[in-house]
Amino acid sequence: MTTTPTEPSARRPPVVPLVQGPPTGRLTAAQGTALYVGAVLGTGVIALPALAAEAAGPASLLAWLALVTLSAPLAATFAALGARHPDAGGVSTYARLAFGDRAAAVVGWCFFFAVPAGAPAAALFAGAYVEAAVGGGTSTVVITAAGLILAVTGANAVGLRLTGRLQLVLAGLLVTLVLGATLLALPEADTGNLQPFAPHGWAAVGTAATLLVWSFAGWEAITHLAGEFRRPARDLPRATAVAVLVVGLIYLAVAFAVVAVLGPAAADTEAPLGELMAHALGGDGRLLAAGPALLLCFGTMNAYFASAAKLGAALGRDGALPPWLARGSVAGEVPRRSLAVVAGGSALSLAVVVALDLGPKPLVLLSTGCFVTVYAVGVAAALRLLPRRSPGWVAALVSLTAVLALFLMSGRYLLWPLLLAGAALLYLRFRRSHHA
């Protein structure tokens, strides 16, 4: 199948068409929805409702609502790109078609090397929940995190078909557990807990929104798997639309329940989901939350490992990374070499933060800066590649404002993607001089 490129004009560079064989993907729209839910829902629901409540009180609900609303056009933008150009390169491919090889290498490196930083952070979040439930101190946290990295690597090494089915089961369990506990806890909600609504002032809503950016990263991740769908043009937009509704509903429900049920205590708990489960089901909330925390983090890591492994293979194919990584870039193949690099980098990042006793926060900030950069390039590419005034193009135009705001909030954490951009350009120069 050959994708239809946009018409070249004086205002945009010629688009190089992507030549592909017959569709060989196996992912269904339901499995794609599950991958999206796992990538975006992830660790945000574990701790961030409490952190946002601490920053802005009940007014943090406005920050949640704003980000849920803004995530819809961003998700629609990447779904439109993925449906039009289903390739393992994802945003890197869109950058190449819109701006050339250098831009593709930069955005590809930013995504590929963000995952080995972000995945251990998610694993450490899960380890903290397990440690809170069973004890054991740092050893429990580290063993849990290392076990998650191994489990996700094994699931992806078997093949994406298993990953898609596994993610579908996980997503169903997560939605049932989280929404079930939230709905059962809501009868204990007290409207008095919503007053005063903005105890720290209205400016604190912006602070809460900054914290919540981590919760909404992931809409770009599944574009790397677009070629793995049975019918990308049909299934990818459907999966995106359902995932936006599911993720938005869960985040808003949990955030409201945390504020209305827990009240001022919401700002003091490190396990808000566990506290809600304790209210709903009784017993030790920390023990009840350990299972869902593991599932949530596994789902996030599973989706990102699958995406990054495919991207690494595509970058090897396109010359932005060593060619030996290229095996697995074709739809239906398992990119085990690229997966090994992602897994090895994740293990290394985990070892470093454990040895230096840094905790997950530095990893979160590093990966967030990279994903903001990926969003910016992806939205800019969409404005050049998608038909003008089409729904996807309009969504990209709306998303542009949100992405610029994310850039302003990221500040010094853009240093890591800047370093990666320099490294990517140096690699391209080295490769070209070597083959000259």
Query: What does the pLDDT look like over 66-101, one tens digit per residue?
Result: 888 888 898 889 888 888 887 767 788 889 899 998
Under 8 Å between Cβ of 226 and 90: yes
Under 8 Å between Cβ of 105 and 315: yes
pLDDT 10s digits, 250-288: 888 888 888 888 888 777 766 677 777 777 666 666 677
Q: Which of 171, 299, 234 is nearest to 29 (CA)?
A: 234
Residue 157: both structure tokens together: 């090494």
List of residues 6+ apart from 247 with CB closer than 8 A: 36, 37, 40, 41, 68, 71
Q: Please tell me the least confidently modeled range out of 1-15, 121-135, 315-329, 343-357.
A: 1-15
Looking at residues 362-375, what average pLDDT do you find? 81
Looking at residues 140-146, what average pLDDT do you find? 93
Q: State the pLDDT at residue 343.
A: 94
Three-class DSSP category at 230: coil
List of residues 6+ apart from 154 with CB closer than 8 A: none
Per-residue burial over 240-276, b if 16 or more Cβ lie within 10 Å, else e, is bbbbbebbbebbebbbbbbbbbbbeebbebebbbbbb
d(CA 363, CA 121): 6
Q: Is the pLDDT of residue 40 over 70?
A: yes
Q: Is the pLDDT of residue 144 over 90?
A: yes
Q: What phi and psi, each to the nearest 5 degrees, are found at residue 64? A: -60, -45
Q: State the pLDDT at residue 422.
A: 92
Q: State the pLDDT at residue 383.
A: 94
Domain coordinates in residue numbering, the chain = 29-74+115-361
Q: Give percent of the chain with pLDDT exceeding 90.
A: 14
Q: Is the pLDDT of residue 14 over 70?
A: no
| Surface-to-core class of residue 198, CB atoms within 10 Å of its CB (0-12 exposed, 13-18 middle, 19+ buried) | middle
Please tell me which residue, 255 or 184, carries the higher pLDDT value: 255
Under 8 Å between Cβ of 316 and 324: yes
| Confidence band for 4, pLDDT divided at 50, 70 and 90 | very low
Crossing angle for the helix pair 272-281 and 285-318, to the nearest 10 degrees: 140
Residue 100: both structure tokens together: 């050339």
| Surface-to-core class of residue 69, CB atoms within 10 Å of its CB (0-12 exposed, 13-18 middle, 19+ buried) | exposed
Q: State the pLDDT at residue 18.
A: 44
Q: State the pLDDT at residue 86.
A: 77
Q: Which of 238, 234, 232 is nearest to 85 (CA)?
A: 232
| Confidence band for 214, pLDDT divided at 50, 70 and 90 | low
Q: State the pLDDT at residue 5.
A: 41
Please tell me which residue, 306 or 275, carries the higher pLDDT value: 306
Please tell me which residue, 336 or 50, carries the higher pLDDT value: 336
Q: Is the pLDDT of residue 173 over 80?
A: no
Q: State the pLDDT at residue 332.
A: 66
Q: State the pLDDT at residue 8.
A: 38
Q: Please tell me the least confidently modeled range out of 186-200, 264-278, 297-311.
A: 264-278
Residue 13: both structure tokens together: 């560079």
Q: Please give the span between the terminal C-alpha atoms of the chain, in angstroms, as a whole number.
A: 32
Three-class DSSP category at 13: coil
Q: State the pLDDT at residue 15.
A: 42
What CA–CA distances, in Å, run from 274 to 184, 262, 360? Answer: 13, 11, 20
Mean pLDDT of the chain: 79
Please tell me which residue, 402 or 285, carries the higher pLDDT value: 402
Q: State the pLDDT at residue 237.
A: 81
Q: Is the pLDDT of residue 316 over 80?
A: yes
Looking at residues 18-26, what average pLDDT do you find? 50
Please tell me which residue, 333 or 250, carries the higher pLDDT value: 250
Q: Is the pLDDT of residue 21 over 60?
A: no
List of residues 6+ apart from 18 with CB closer than 8 A: 2, 3, 85, 87, 93, 97
| Confidence band for 122, pLDDT divided at 50, 70 and 90 | confident
Which CATH superfamily, name and number, covers 29-74+115-361?
Amino acid/polyamine transporter I (1.20.1740.10)
Please tell me which residue, 401 or 378, carries the higher pLDDT value: 378
CA atoms in the 13 A half-sphere facing the CB of 413: 20
| Surface-to-core class of residue 426, CB atoms within 10 Å of its CB (0-12 exposed, 13-18 middle, 19+ buried) | exposed
